[in-house]
Amino acid sequence: MSKPKVLQIGALSERFNRELAECYEVTALWQRVDPLAFLQEQGTAFELLVSSARFGCSAEQLACLPNLRAICSFGVGYDPYPLELLRDRGIVISTTPDVLNDCVADLAMGLIIDTARQLAAADRFVRAGGWPAATFPLTRKVSGKKLGIVGLGRIGQAIARRAEGFAMPVRYHKRCQDLSSPYGFEADLLALARWADFLVLACPGGAATHHLIDADVLAALGPQGILVNISRGSVVDQPALVTALLNGHLGGAGLDVFEGEPTVPAELFALPNVVLLPHVGSGTHETRLRMEELVLANLQAFIDKGELLTPL
């Protein structure tokens, strides 16, 4: 029996690419010299597509895929997909929710601690031979500080649960109050930023949250406040963030995501109160394996039963 055809937009791990190719007839779009020209010629052949929260699938690509029925995406983010277009065309899409909550929430706590206690800066100080000659400056306490969370979805809730272990009062902001949540709802983002010592961003990216964190929110967080972003770079007005950090109007920032990543504003490199990570929230062996398994399980479920396991 011939294997079902699958179009894969971008490379995932070698293990995943291999396993996908074992079960399906995979077309690796990124290996084509001119991917769009290829789609224009051969796009009608594909009903199934595999992509990721990084590569997505553009409206231009979708226009070349008139028979597409399902997208199985690696990652929980869906900002690089034109969702309205997918809905109009009846194309279903799955992501990989829940399996990455722990790792992303762990990383958020790590960024809070690293930024406030300046672990990375202290490590650089020791490695540079600074310790025998000088005392590392005092930093900021973490336990008991007020934590504001923007977006109390699955990851936001996992962060809040961890914060309880640090005796942190937690309040959150999202579009609608979550009546089942034990945490205080703050409809006014500026008020949340004024209240919080740490403001953690755990909301989805995309048009609805674009530059939600602007100069006013950063000013409200203030010179003692710390911003932590494990969601999407697009949520923050990055030039405003850089200015606030350089002027000392913001206490610090722990950033796993950036506007225009993998490019990171070089002005931030010298600041000890800023921690810069290369988008590694879900990046552990255990979690990436579970994400890959979930992509494959969604694909097979759609082929077998016409239904995705974790549809958006």
Nearest distance in Å: CB 95, ligand 8YV = 7
Strand order in the sheet with 170-173: 184-185, 170-173, 147-150, 198-201, 226-229, 252-255, 274-276
Catalytic status, residue 290: no
Which CB atom, from 239 or from 278, has the smaller least distance to ligand 8YV? 278
Catalytic status, residue 173: no
Residue 58 to residues 65, 89, 273: CA-CA distances in angstroms? 11, 14, 37
- Find how far residue 79's CA is from the centre of its chain: 10
What does residue 27 show for φ and ψ, rounded to 5 degrees?
A: -105, 115
Sequence-ordered list of residues with C-beta below 8 angstroms from that of 71, at least 6 positions apart, any chain: 49, 50, 51, 57, 81, 86, 91, 92, 93, 94
Which CB atom, from 192 or from 277, has the smaller least distance to ligand 8YV? 277
Q: State the catalytic residue, choosing from 194, 279, 290, 293.
A: 279
Which CB atom, from 52 or from 94, has the smaller least distance to ligand 8YV? 52
Q: Is 282 in the site for ligand 8YV (CB under 6 A)?
A: yes
CA atoms of 252 and 116, how far apart (whole Å): 7
Residue 175: CB atoms within 10 A of its CB come to 9
Q: State the catalytic residue, choosing from 117, 261, 290, 293.
A: 261
Q: Is 100 in the site for ligand 8YV (CB under 6 A)?
A: yes
Nearest distance in Å: CB 36, ligand 8YV = 21
Q: Is 158 in the site for ligand 8YV (CB under 6 A)?
A: no
x-marked contacts with ligand 8YV along 53-92 as a string, rule CB under 6 A? xx-------------------xxxx---------------
Nearest distance in Å: CB 191, ligand 8YV = 28
Nearest distance in Å: CB 238, ligand 8YV = 17
Residue 122: CB atoms within 10 A of its CB come to 17
Q: What tokens does 66 get?
A: 């008139």
Tell me which of 8, 27, 52, 310 binds ligand 8YV, using CB under 6 A.
Answer: 52
Which CB atom, from 75 or from 151, has the smaller least distance to ligand 8YV? 75
Contact region for ligand 8YV (CB under 6 A) — 48-56, 123-131, 151-159, 194-202? Answer: 48-56
Contact region for ligand 8YV (CB under 6 A) — 49-57, 58-66, 81-89, 163-171? Answer: 49-57
Catalytic status, residue 232: yes
Evaluate whether 147 touches 94 at the Cβ level (below 8 Å): no
Which CB atom, from 11 or from 246, has the smaller least distance to ligand 8YV? 11
Which CB atom, from 47 or from 261, has the smaller least distance to ligand 8YV? 261
Q: State the catalytic residue, choosing from 232, 259, 288, 292.
A: 232
Residues designated as active site: 232, 261, 279
Per CB under 6 A, residues contacting ligand 8YV are 52-54, 74-77, 100, 281-282
